[in-house]
Structure 1
């Protein structure tokens, strides 16, 4: 199986490429710049293409030639979830690129969505929960899914929409919680400022998430939405305390220093039953 991965040097992309190679897939990896890709361990094992998938001059037909599936991860501007460019630019640019790929003959497309498509709804969220996006990023992603579902009626293809929850690991945004905590540990800071830490979230290691995404790509008949999540709610405080134990650090937590975010509810997590049903057979093997 040959997979075209866009955003290949991003947080999710670099791990997905590795997961696909581990499965014996061929990979055509696409990113805007070659230099960051050369620093990744898989560079010599893939067909790397330096390209901007949003460029008007891009030859999409040539880019997707001979690929069996497209894993579209590229999405500029994160982690600014409130910016209007998510729907003013990214939405239509993504739709146009994916449409051209489908028209050129790509029959399977996996797109990474987001838990923010669910908006401010609380508790366990499964794929039957109606999306209610409450920020521009979630709105743009959910609208892209709707556009692509309409595109399927005119140009049939398999659409696998994987809603990512809270991923962590090597390559994550340096402003994210665990990255900031690791820096505090490395610099032997005496105190770590954080929120009250009582909010419940769904955390998933990036290696596990990328393995799930690679597994979904192998399920070539699956069409629809699936939560890429652990299915287990964990408090932010518990996550931080677990990392401190893991690293043998004794930083004092300054709980309540930051207010709770207003763009997400206090408690929500993904129901992972559909994901586990899809991938259960291979995990049991």
Structure 2
């Protein structure tokens, strides 16, 4: 089996590549032309240069005629409110994926976002009506709809995997886990943050990578699915759990920062298998 992966150098992509490399599949990973440094290597992994903004005439052939495309690439993050997402990114995403499907791709697994649900609170089922209220969520939701319309003219298998929250090594510097880890490395004794009472759905990125690899190696046509833990955890408990689990000598200072205005106070996914989330009672490792 041959699986192509776009966005292979990103936070999730690097973990996905590592997971797929452990399986009995041929992996084709994309990178921007001219970017070859720090390239992960494996016997069943091959890299190809490909720019989604300027794709080749036959992207399916350029990807090595894969059985499945696992599409992770998306520019413009983490600025969720940037108009770039639907002014530039959405058209180029659909152009690339549409061209790849028309030229022969039979199965596509691509990632969406929990922001497609907008400000809806509580448990969020994958079949729930989407109500995005920021440009990133809107653009992702619009791409999903475009790809579903395309199925009527060019039948192919589509899995739309909505990501919730993740943590792990290699995360962008603006993420909560990365900022906490950087504060510890800098020797800070305190970590200012919001009140921490918001409820979220978190998974370790290694678990997200495993589930994406499962979807890619067993492609079907389920439509939207949630990649989530299926249970809420407060950000306060999550941060305290990370500190306890790692034995870090830093104290969270709650209420120093405002709550984000682009997400509700409490939401989590339905449909995901429960996963272990570190809590304050975890033993140091």
TM-score when normalising by structure 2:
0.92
Q: Partners in 1 of 2:13 and 2:251 — Cα distance?
A: 34
1:123-168 CA distance string (max 9 Å, x none): 0001121000010000000000000000000000001000000011
Q: Alignment RMSD, CA only? A: 1.8
Q: Is the partner of 2:201 in helix, strand or coil?
A: strand
Question: Is there any run of 5+ residues in structure 2 with no aligned partner, and where?
Answer: 276-285
| Aligned-pair CA distance for 1:252 | 2.2
Q: Is the partner of 2:195 in helix, strand or coil?
A: coil
Q: Partners in 1 of 2:213 and 2:248 — Cα distance?
A: 34
Query: After alignment, is 39-48 or 255-264 more displaced?
Result: 39-48
Structure 1 residues 231 and 40, CA, compared in 2 at 3 Å: closer, same or farther? farther
| Aligned-pair CA distance for 1:65 | 3.5
Partner of 2:244: 245
Partner of 2:89: 90
Partner of 2:158: 159
Partner of 1:9: 9
| Aligned-pair CA distance for 1:61 | 3.9
Q: Partners in 2 of 1:263 and 1:235 — Cα distance?
A: 17
Q: Is the partner of 1:220 in helix, strand or coil?
A: coil
Partner of 2:52: 53
Partner of 2:29: 29
Query: After alignment, is 50-59 or 233-242 more displaced?
Result: 50-59
More helix by share: 1
Partner of 2:71: 72
Aligned length: 275
Q: Partners in 2 of 1:251 and 1:275 — Cα distance?
A: 28
Query: After alignment, is 87-96 or 44-53 more displaced?
Result: 44-53
Q: Partners in 1 of 2:5 and 2:89 — Cα distance?
A: 17
| Aligned-pair CA distance for 1:221 | 2.6
Q: Partners in 1 of 2:235 and 2:250 — Cα distance?
A: 16
In the TM superposition, what are the counterparts of 1:188-203 in structure 2 within 5 Å?
A: 188-203=187-202
1:88-125 CA distance string (max 9 Å, x none): 01111111111111111110001100000000000000
Structure 1 residues 65 and 49, CA, compared in 2 at 3 Å: closer, same or farther? closer
In the TM superposition, what are the counterparts of 1:94-173 in structure 2 within 5 Å?
A: 94-173=93-172
